[in-house]
């Protein structure tokens, strides 16, 4: 039991009961961040800001949304969009923030790959980050179903059908997930539950672990120099601020982050106010109809690369059905990013990609290939498009198969 | 020593009962996600085929799925394994969901094929895949013939014969 004395003020009163000063020191004012980082290191805080936007706008939408096949479409397109004051704003912010979250997640993820921040003690940061990517993907997919338009319905139909690729029990699994033979009322209501309760809880928990896993290996820096954080922190605390190579998370690092967040939010609200339609597919303004497939089905832009890997294999190879090859490639594409720290056979070299020639080429090939997959994922899969998609999917798989060999060669070269 | 084994016993008993309870709870949760009885018994659909002309294609809804009923014209290739013969007329009954990812193909009367817009799959008039990613022919729903009427959802002798051959 602590010695409780008459408090000298409110903070002191709290401190005696909750140790708020020690807590602030550990979490904020003595959490040390390297100086040699750039704006790409602010993406985590941008994501937190976007998640806050999603949470608050989501709560407001939740007050009027109705998870029922007969009511859902009108509750979104009539009640929220036309009756609720500022309902249109919450909806457009929610939709645009979902898209923007994926944009920033991709930047965050490729920053980590470029600067080697996924290895040498930082594997758990990478793995929890990938779990977050999957959880956000599930969140985006379940949320996309809720307006119950034609795109909502057919995306749900196609994606749930992917589980039929599971050997033997596949068809039963699909019916179990949907709660019906087709995507129907039971499906909508259970995905609503996932979207508003279970997945957000999972995301919050994994975010906590993601932050925690960052604490011991510390944030990487853009030159990948190993810092003696204790010594550098000591210099800072002694007042040798210029000489020290670290700054405290609060207030120094966060003030820079707030600038980047402010800059980004300007862009975000520009999109919300003038280009919200990119997150509002016109096909989805037609109510869901299980008897009519839209002529052309495609996912939101952030899933296109994945979708193109799935459908890139459009012909049978060696007696294996095209669909099965596509599914295997799709599963591979989703799992392989998790394995990145273990596919990199030069684990001790955390230098940025521009100091690792072979890895540099690999990195930019991956980016270009994923852009090609994204562009062709939106185009109809006919004629030459199908072949471009096929080769881009093969290159994607090939890059990850080649990575262990490239990095192994690199580590051999360094030892000579 | 006796103390220790008593604690071990309490620990094991707690662990055992919790595990059994947990497994039962998971089973209950799994069942809560199953389709409801009202959904499972979603009716049997009767369709009268007597009024259909040669080459005509009808779509009916059965358990939330589109079902294609096509009366083959005389010059459409026959398929003894999949055609339903009622007198001189030949019909094909197919679940209208592409076997690739479940989109609804559309019937193109001029080429007598079902074409799926999603990923370019093509099926012939008997529902056999001829191009693209579909892994198997369009499924045949369970049906029973009553004269010139068929009942979807019931397994008649013709259906059983058909599935045995396939």
Chain B residues lying within 8 Å of A382, measured CB to CB? 120
CA-wise closest residue to A379 among B24, B120, B13, B159: B120
For residues A288 and A69, is the Cβ–Cβ distance under 8 A? yes
Chain A residues lying within 8 Å of B63, measured CB to CB? 181-182
| pLDDT at residue B62, rounded to an integer | 84
Separation of alpha carbons B120 and A365, rounded Å: 29
Phi/psi at B61 (5° precision)? -105, 130
* Residue B36, both tokens: 């409801």
Instruction: Give the number of other Cβ atoms within 10 Å of residue A61's Cβ.
Output: 21
Chain B residues lying within 8 Å of A190, measured CB to CB? 33
Query: Which residue numbers of A have CB closer than 8 Å to B's CBs?
Result: 154, 157-158, 161-162, 175-182, 184, 186, 190, 290-297, 311, 313-314, 321-324, 326, 381-382, 386
Report which DSSP code applies to B90. Answer: E
Q: Is B58 an interface residue toward A (CB < 8 Å)?
A: no
pLDDT tens digits for B125-163? 888 998 888 888 999 988 888 888 888 888 888 888 887
At residue A40, the 3 state secondary structure works out as: helix
Separation of alpha carbons B32 and B11, rounded Å: 31
| pLDDT at residue A2, rounded to an integer | 67
Separation of alpha carbons A116 and A410, rounded Å: 14
Q: What would the 3-class secondary structure string for A145-168 be?
A: HCCCEHHHHHHHHHHHHHHHHCCC
* Residue A351, both tokens: 């230098």
In a mutational test of the B interface, the residue from A323, A324, A390, A393 whose CB has the highest number of chain B CBs within 10 Å is A323
At residue B129, the 3 state secondary structure works out as: strand
Instruction: Give the number of other Cβ atoms within 10 Å of residue B25's Cβ.
Output: 10
Q: What is the assigned CATH class of domain A38-156+185-220+251-295?
A: mainly alpha
Nearest to B132 among A175, A293, A314 (CB): A314
Give the global pTM.
Answer: 0.86
At residue B166, the 3 state secondary structure works out as: coil
Closest-CA residue of A relative to B102 is A158
**Which helix or strand (DSSP H or E) is residue A403 part of?**
helix A384-415
For residues A306 and A333, is the Cβ–Cβ distance under 8 A? yes
In which residue are the tokens 């709290």 written? A14
Pairing of strands B149-152, B45-48: antiparallel
Across the interface, do B135 and A154 touch by the CB < 8 Å criterion? no
Burial (CB count <10 Å: 0-12, 13-18, 19+), residue A384: exposed
pLDDT tens digits for B79-127? 888 888 888 888 899 999 888 878 889 898 888 899 988 888 899 988 8
Q: Is B115 an interface residue toward A (CB < 8 Å)?
A: no
Residues comprising chain A, all counted: 416
pLDDT 10s per residue in chain A (416 long)? 568 899 999 999 999 999 999 999 999 999 999 999 999 999 999 999 999 999 999 999 999 999 999 999 999 999 999 999 999 999 999 999 999 999 999 999 999 999 999 998 999 999 999 999 999 999 999 999 999 999 999 999 989 988 988 888 988 899 899 998 889 999 999 999 999 999 999 999 999 999 999 999 999 999 888 899 999 999 999 999 999 999 999 999 999 999 999 999 999 999 999 999 888 888 999 999 887 888 788 889 999 999 999 888 888 787 787 778 889 999 999 999 999 999 999 988 888 999 999 999 999 999 999 999 999 998 887 788 989 999 999 999 999 999 999 999 998 887 76
* Residue B33, both tokens: 């996600």
Angle between helices A304-312 and A322-336 (to 10 degrees): 140
Q: Is B87 an interface residue toward A (CB < 8 Å)?
A: no
Nearest to B104 among A184, A292, A382 (CB): A292
| pLDDT at residue A416, rounded to an integer | 65
Distance from CA of B20 to the nearest CA of A (A): 23
Across the interface, do B39 and A293 touch by the CB < 8 Å criterion? no
Spacing of C-alpha A350 from chain mean position? 23
Distance from CA of B118 to the nearest CA of A (A): 6
Q: Is B59 an interface residue toward A (CB < 8 Å)?
A: yes
Separation of alpha carbons A411 and A334, rounded Å: 27
Closest-CA residue of B relative to A320 is B135
Chain B residues lying within 8 Å of A294, measured CB to CB? 117
CA-wise closest residue to A184 among A197, A175, A172, A173: A175
Chain A with chain B: Cβ pairs closer than 8 A: 83
CA-wise closest residue to A251 among A29, A11, A44: A29
Chain A residues lying within 8 Å of B141, measured CB to CB? none
Query: Does residue A253 or residue B51 have the better pLDDT?
Result: A253
C-alpha dihedral, A267 to A271 to A274 to A276, nearest 10°: -170
Separation of alpha carbons B68 and A137, rounded Å: 35
**Which helix or strand (DSSP H or E) is residue A136 part of?**
helix A123-145
Across the interface, do B135 and A177 touch by the CB < 8 Å criterion? no
Across the interface, do B64 and A180 touch by the CB < 8 Å criterion? yes
ipTM over 0.85: no
Across the interface, do B118 and A161 touch by the CB < 8 Å criterion? no
Span between the terminal Cα atoms of chain A, in Å: 61
Across the interface, do A162 and B101 touch by the CB < 8 Å criterion? yes
Residue ranges per domain, chain A?
A: 38-156+185-220+251-295, 298-416
* Residue B75, both tokens: 């010059």
At residue A404, the 3 state secondary structure works out as: helix
């Amino acid at each position: 039991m602590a010695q409780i004395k008459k408090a000298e003020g409110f903070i002191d009163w709290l401190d005696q009961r909750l140790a708020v000063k020690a807590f602030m020191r550990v979490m904020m004012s003595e959490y040390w961040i390297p100086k040699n980082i750039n704006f790409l290191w602010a993406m985590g805080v941008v994501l937190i800001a976007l998640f806050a936007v999603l949470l608050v706008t989501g709560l407001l939408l939740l007050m009027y949304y109705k998870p029922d096949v007969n009511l859902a479409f009108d509750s979104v397109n009539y009640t929220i969009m036309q009756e609720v004051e500022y309902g249109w704003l919450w909806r457009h912010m929610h939709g645009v923030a979902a898209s923007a979250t994926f944009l920033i997640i991709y930047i965050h993820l490729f920053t980590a790959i470029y600067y080697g921040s996924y290895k040498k003690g930082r594997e758990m940061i990478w793995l929890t980050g990938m779990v977050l990517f999957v959880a956000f993907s599930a969140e985006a997919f379940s949320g996309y179903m809720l307006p119950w338009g034609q795109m909502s319905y057919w995306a749900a139909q196609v994606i749930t059908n992917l589980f039929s690729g599971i050997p033997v029990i596949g068809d039963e699994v699909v019916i179990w997930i949907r709660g019906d033979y087709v995507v129907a009322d039971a499906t909508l209501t259970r995905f609503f539950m996932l979207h508003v309760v279970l997945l957000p809880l999972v995301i919050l928990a994994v975010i906590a672990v993601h932050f925690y896993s960052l604490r011991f290996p510390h944030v990487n820096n853009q030159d990948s120099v190993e810092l003696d954080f204790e010594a550098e922190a000591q210099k800072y605390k002694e007042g040798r601020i210029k000489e020290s190579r670290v700054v405290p998370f609060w207030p120094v690092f966060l003030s820079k982050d707030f600038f980047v967040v402010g800059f980004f939010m300007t862009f975000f609200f520009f999109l919300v106010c003038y280009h919200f339609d990119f997150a509002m597919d016109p096909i989805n303004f037609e109510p869901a109809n299980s008897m009519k497939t839209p002529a052309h089905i495609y996912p939101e832009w952030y899933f296109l690369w994945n979708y193109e890997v799935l459908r890139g294999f459009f012909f049978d190879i060696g007696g294996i059905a095209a669909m099965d090859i596509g599914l295997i490639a799709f599963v591979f594409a989703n799992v392989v990013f998790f394995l990145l720290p273990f596919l990199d056979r030069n684990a001790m070299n955390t230098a940025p990609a521009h100091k690792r020639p072979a890895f540099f080429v690999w990195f930019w090939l991956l980016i270009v290939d994923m852009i090609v997959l994204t562009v062709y994922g939106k185009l109809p899969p006919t004629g030459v498009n199908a072949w471009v998609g096929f080769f881009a999917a093969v290159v994607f798989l090939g890059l990850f198969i080649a990575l262990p060999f490239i990095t192994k060669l690199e580590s051999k070269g360094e030892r000579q | 020593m006796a103390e220790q084994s008593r604690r071990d016993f309490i620990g094991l008993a707690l662990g055992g009962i919790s595990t059994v309870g947990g497994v039962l709870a998971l089973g209950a949760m799994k069942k809560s996600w199953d389709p409801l009885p009202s959904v499972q018994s979603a009716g049997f659909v009767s369709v009268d085929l007597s009024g259909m002309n040669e080459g005509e294609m009808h779509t009916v809804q059965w358990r939330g799925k589109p079902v294609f009923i096509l009366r083959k014209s005389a010059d459409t290739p026959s398929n003894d394994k999949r055609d339903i013969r009622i007198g001189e007329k030949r019909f094909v009954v197919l679940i209208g969901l592409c076997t690739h990812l479940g989109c609804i193909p559309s019937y193109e009367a001029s080429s007598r094929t079902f074409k799926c817009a999603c990923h370019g799959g093509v099926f012939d008039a008997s529902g056999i895949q001829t191009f693209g990613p579909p892994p198997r022919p369009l499924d045949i729903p369970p049906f029973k013939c009553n004269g010139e009427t068929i009942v979807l959802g019931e397994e008649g002798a013709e259906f059983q014969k058909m599935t045995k051959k396939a």
